[in-house]
Amino acid sequence: MVGRLVENLELYGRLSELDRRAIAALPLTLRRFEPGEDMVIEGDAPSHCRLLISGLAFRHKTLRDGRRQIMSFHVPGDICDIEGLLLSMDHSVSALSRAEVGFIPHLAMEALLDGHPAISRALWRTELVEAAVAREWMVGMGRRTAYARIAHLFCEMYARLGAMGLVENGRCRFPITQTHLSDSLGLSVVHTNRVLQALRGDGLLSFRGGELIVHDWPGLQAAGEFDPAYLHLRSVAA
Amino acid sequence: MDLILQPVMVDTGEEGEGCLVFAEGWLVAVLVRLSDSHEDESGYWFLEKGFGRLDRPDPPSFSDLPTAEQWIKEHLEIRRPPRWPGDPGEA
């Protein structure tokens, strides 16, 4: 199960056999979360890293009147609360779908990183990529049209899920609701629904029952002005 | 405060039925009727665009026009908070 972490880190750089074995030896306690359930909440000072083994998760912040902003989505192999290793949580992380999460004690993680500089660098790289993703979202929210914003998010998730081997024949599980989409892209649910109809109508994708089907990958990338360079993946799903 | 609703076609890619909402001669909102593609909210009136105090990041939908008018009136009558130190705000 902790192999998911190896797969994820290796998307961004090679690890030695010794590094891989050290990761495989990490102590890990498995927990399941239901859709919408909080994995860690704002203000927490976690004592474990939460490694997503299966399912999807998202980071979010909620304003006093209940308006929510989703900041990112997480795919298997991601540590969803890595900042908790060094800081307290300034936002919450919840399960998007039913999710299996491996809890790794911080002490074990610290020992791993102290003893294996290549793992440390790989983890640092994943965090830099996460910051790159956040910048791309900011560009989208500030400057892209609603149509391009939604197309771009679907491209991003399709590429990231593909890199983890979770895309098959142009299909992947992405059980996001229109409310999640609007909360992540700063759109109303009404606008989100209209754009989804338009993307479908233009023959780029289908999105139903939590499944994303990409019918026209070049067309979807063009619609989203999507250039996967910011993901820094060694290989990108096509 | 009286509102005047003026029917208008709005190009949102849907059926287009909409109305301009005026308060004391000022255009304050554009409402659009949602089509069947909006499932739970089909037939509702959506605040497509609110101006001034009605400009919101989370525009609501209303089950009918009287409910929309009520909401618009309430939000137009909310006292404007002071914008800078010393500004008395609005009575």
Q: Does residue A75 belong to any structural domain of this protein?
A: yes
Cβ-contact A155, B6 below 8 angstroms: no
Cβ-contact A167, A161 below 8 angstroms: yes
DSSP A73-127: EE-TT-BTTGGGGTS--SSEEEESSSEEEEEEEHHHHHHHHHH-HHHHHHHHHHH
Q: Does residue B87 belong to any structural domain of this protein?
A: no
Set of chain A residues whose Cβ sits within 8 Å of the Cβ of B11: none
Share of chain B above pLDDT 70, in %: 89
Q: Does residue A116 belong to any structural domain of this protein?
A: yes
Q: Are A199 and A154 found together in one domain? A: yes
The 8-class DSSP code of residue A53 comes to E
The conformational region for residue B47 under phi > 0 = left, psi -120 to 50 = alpha, else beta, is beta
Set of chain A residues whose Cβ sits within 8 Å of the Cβ of B38: 190, 193
Residue A105, CA distances (Å) to A22, A49, A126, A185, A217 in order:
14, 6, 19, 33, 40
Whether complex ipTM tops 0.90: no
Q: Are A72 and A39 found together in one domain? A: yes
Q: Do A194 and B12 touch (CB under 8 A)?
A: yes
Q: Write out residues in chain A with pLDDT < 50, as ranges.
A: 236-238
Residue appearing with tokens 């030896």: A25
Q: Are A103 and A154 found together in one domain? A: no
Total number of domains constituting chain B: 1
Set of chain B residues whose Cβ sits within 8 Å of the Cβ of A193: 37-38
Q: Are A78 and A157 found together in one domain? A: no
Q: Please indicate whether residue A95 or residue B37 has the higher confidence score (pLDDT).
A: A95
For B38, the closest of A186, A193, A198 (CB atoms) is: A193
Structure token pair of residue A112: 């791993």
**Nearest-by-CA chain A residue for B14:** A194
Q: Are A62 and A13 found together in one domain? A: yes
Q: Are A117 and A211 found together in one domain? A: no
Chosen for mutation from A188, A195, A207, A208 (greatest number of chain B CBs closer than 10 Å) is A188
Q: Does residue B83 belong to any structural domain of this protein?
A: no
Q: Are A84 and A159 found together in one domain? A: no
Quote the domain boundaries for residue A59: 3-126
Q: Are A96 and A156 found together in one domain? A: no
DSSP A120-188: HHHHHHHHHHHHHHHHHHHHHHHHS-HHHHHHHHHHHHHHHHHHTT--BTTEEE----HHHHHHHHT--
- Give the C-alpha separation, A62 to B21, whole Å: 31
**Which residues have CB under 8 Å from A153's CB, separation 6+?**
A140, A181, A184, A185, A224
Q: Are A23 and A97 found together in one domain? A: yes
pLDDT of residue B80: 61
Q: Does residue A209 belong to any structural domain of this protein?
A: yes
Q: Are A155 and A53 found together in one domain? A: no
Q: Does residue B69 belong to any structural domain of this protein?
A: yes
Q: Does residue A140 belong to any structural domain of this protein?
A: no
Q: How far is A200 from chain B (nearest CA, A)?
A: 13
Q: How many CB pairs under 8 A join A and B?
A: 21
Q: Does residue B59 belong to any structural domain of this protein?
A: yes
Q: How far is B55 from chain A (nearest CA, A)?
A: 13
Q: Do B58 and A194 touch (CB under 8 A)?
A: no
Strand partners, A72: A59
Q: Does residue B29 belong to any structural domain of this protein?
A: yes
For chain B, how many residues are written? 91
Q: Does residue A87 belong to any structural domain of this protein?
A: yes
Q: Do A188 and B58 touch (CB under 8 A)?
A: yes
Q: How far is A160 from chain B (nearest CA, A)?
A: 29
pLDDT tens-digit profile of B40-83? 899 999 999 999 999 988 899 999 999 999 999 999 987 666 66
Q: Do B13 and A197 touch (CB under 8 A)?
A: yes
Angle at A20 between CA A14 and CA A21, to 5 degrees: 160
Set of chain B residues whose Cβ sits within 8 Å of the Cβ of A190: 34, 38, 41, 46, 59, 61
Q: Does residue A118 belong to any structural domain of this protein?
A: yes
Q: Are A110 and A217 found together in one domain? A: no
Q: Do A194 and B13 touch (CB under 8 A)?
A: yes
3-state secondary structure of B52: helix
- Give the C-alpha separation, A2 to A19, whole Å: 13
Q: Does residue B85 belong to any structural domain of this protein?
A: no
Quote the domain boundaries for residue B20: 3-76
Set of chain B residues whose Cβ sits within 8 Å of the Cβ of A194: 12-14, 37
Residue appearing with tokens 């137009």: B76
Total number of domains constituting chain A: 2
pLDDT of residue A101: 97
Q: Does residue A101 belong to any structural domain of this protein?
A: yes
3-state secondary structure of A202: coil
| CATH number of domain containing A84 | 2.60.120.10
Q: Are A165 and A120 found together in one domain? A: no
Burial group, residue B91, by CB count within 10 angstroms (0-12, 13-18, 19+)? exposed
Angle at A59 between CA A58 and CA A63, to 5 degrees: 125
Q: Does residue A238 belong to any structural domain of this protein?
A: no
